[in-house]
Amino acid sequence: MSSSSDADTDTTVIVPVENLRAFTERVIVKAGAKPAHAEALAELIVAADHRGHFSHGLNRLDYYVDDIARGVNAVDKEPEITKQGPSTALVNGNNCIGPVVGKMCIDLAIEKAKSSGVGWVCASGSNHFGIAGWYSIRAMQQGLIGMAFCNTSPNMVHPRGKERVLGTNPISVAAKGEQGDEFVLDMATTAVAQGKVEIKDRLGQQIPVGWGMDANGKLSTDTKEILYSGGLCPLGGAEETSGYKGFGLGMMVELFCGILSGSNFGTGVRKWTNTGFESEANLGQCFVAIDPSAFAPGFEGRLSELVKMVKTSEPAEGQTDLLVAGDPERAHIELCERLGGIPYHRKQIDFADFVADKYSVDRLVTS
């Protein structure tokens, strides 16, 4: 869905952003969440799809609300600071909804960065927090460098192994340059996010070699084999194509999150589909905000200069635009503005209708 022509097919349905926000909020509240908590989760879901990260938006709604409805997530608590210094803090998420914990943590990191130059906040007792970029962007919008990390359910296979030992363990870094220039890195440390394989499976579409492995640790393009028997490749794929680097990045995220916060880590993190009153996720997360003015002056100008260097460099034959991190998301937001909403495949709307009927709320209103 990268151009307006995507809206010309019979399978594309446009959903106004406000309609998506209202729909997700009513489902989340009906499942049992506080209105303020539902607002945070809905904002995260909308931001994911608005930016084109369909694997982490509406696609995830049923997972989120199932945990709420079954009592796996706490709905009567708030995250709390258990330890802090001038530039650091440790937060107990108290098993609250992931975006509720994450929003509190990044805002705390922002506050500390504004007073001391750097804010570093780790959280335990959290849950799936959606796209990491939602948090780093909150810092960027206030003139800071933002970073966010999270450990997740184990689905990354070691490039020499066949068992899932780490999660997708995402990384995000966001910073603003001059005249609207931005650098917004938001990526899994696996070759691809789990949700992207789920969407390909739901739509019956093929995936490329290098996304996942089968139960024997061999590269596979079978989505069901990857989702239910094997696992995801680390960023880089196989060992000979530098998969060990992606695995190393995944372990770095685990160090910042699970290890530093004292939460679950590695294979100790539950599978998200293992719902039940006894299976709290207890995810570890890390949020960082940095004030560039605490360092050399002219940060924004130099960042824009670097962006210009990349974009004005000579493209390879057959290529035109040379993108930097965040450009595809900005293009998708512009596409949504032209279309008057977010473009979805018809099957994604069918899924939303299923969720609406499951929780007895009004269905998602499309254009």
Q: Look at residue 9 in the predicted model and tell me its pLDDT.
A: 54
What end-to-end distance do the CA atoms of the chain give, in Å? 17
Same domain (yes/no): 106, 186? yes
Give the other-Cβ count within 10 Å of 171's Cβ.
Answer: 23
Q: Look at residue 203 in the predicted model and tell me its pLDDT.
A: 83
Is 7 inside any structural domain?
Answer: yes
Q: What's the CATH number where 62 sits?
A: 1.10.1530.10
User: Structural domain of residue 163, as residue ranges?
Assistant: 79-191+233-327
What is Dmax (Cα atoms) for the chain? Answer: 58
> Residue 305 — φ and ψ, nearest 5°?
-65, -40
Is 197 inside any structural domain?
Answer: no
Is residue 224 packed enough to be buried (19+ CB in 10 Å), middle (13-18) or exposed (0-12)?
exposed
Identity of residue 103 = K
Q: How many domains does the chain have?
A: 2
Indicate the helix (H) or strand (E) that contains 150.
strand 145-150
Is 52 inside any structural domain?
Answer: yes
Q: How confident is the model at residue 7 (pLDDT cuts 50, 70, 90)?
A: very low
- The 10s digit of each residue's pLDDT in 63-118 is 899 989 988 899 999 999 999 999 999 999 999 999 999 999 999 999 999 999 99
Say which residue the tokens 């050399």 belong to. 296
Q: Look at residue 367 in the predicted model and tell me its pLDDT.
A: 84
Is 209 inside any structural domain?
Answer: no
Q: How confident is the model at residue 5 (pLDDT cuts 50, 70, 90)?
A: very low
Is 133 inside any structural domain?
Answer: yes
Same domain (yes/no): 251, 321? yes
Q: How confident is the model at residue 270 (pLDDT cuts 50, 70, 90)?
A: confident
Global pTM value: 0.91
Is 5 inside any structural domain?
Answer: yes
Same domain (yes/no): 6, 31? yes
Same domain (yes/no): 170, 37? no
Same domain (yes/no): 137, 275? yes
Same domain (yes/no): 185, 48? no
Same domain (yes/no): 7, 135? no
Of 18-27, 71-80, 201-210, 225-234, the range with the lowest mean pLDDT is 201-210
**Share above pLDDT 70 across residues of the chain, in percent, rounded to a whole number:** 95
Q: Look at residue 278 in the predicted model and tell me its pLDDT.
A: 55
Average pLDDT of 179-199?
91
- The 10s digit of each residue's pLDDT in 271-320 is 865 544 457 889 999 999 999 999 999 999 999 999 999 999 999 999 99
Is 120 inside any structural domain?
Answer: yes
Q: Look at residue 3 in the predicted model and tell me its pLDDT.
A: 39
Q: Which of 27, 52, 34, 122 is nearest to 327 (CA)?
A: 52
Same domain (yes/no): 320, 359? no
* Average pLDDT of the chain to the nearest whole number: 92
Q: What's the CATH number where 299 sits?
A: 3.30.1370.60
Same domain (yes/no): 146, 252? yes
Same domain (yes/no): 54, 85? no
- The 10s digit of each residue's pLDDT in 128-138 is 999 999 999 99
Same domain (yes/no): 147, 165? yes
Is 216 inside any structural domain?
Answer: no
Same domain (yes/no): 55, 16? yes
Kindly state the tokens that stand for 316: 């390879």
Q: Look at residue 272 in the predicted model and tell me its pLDDT.
A: 64
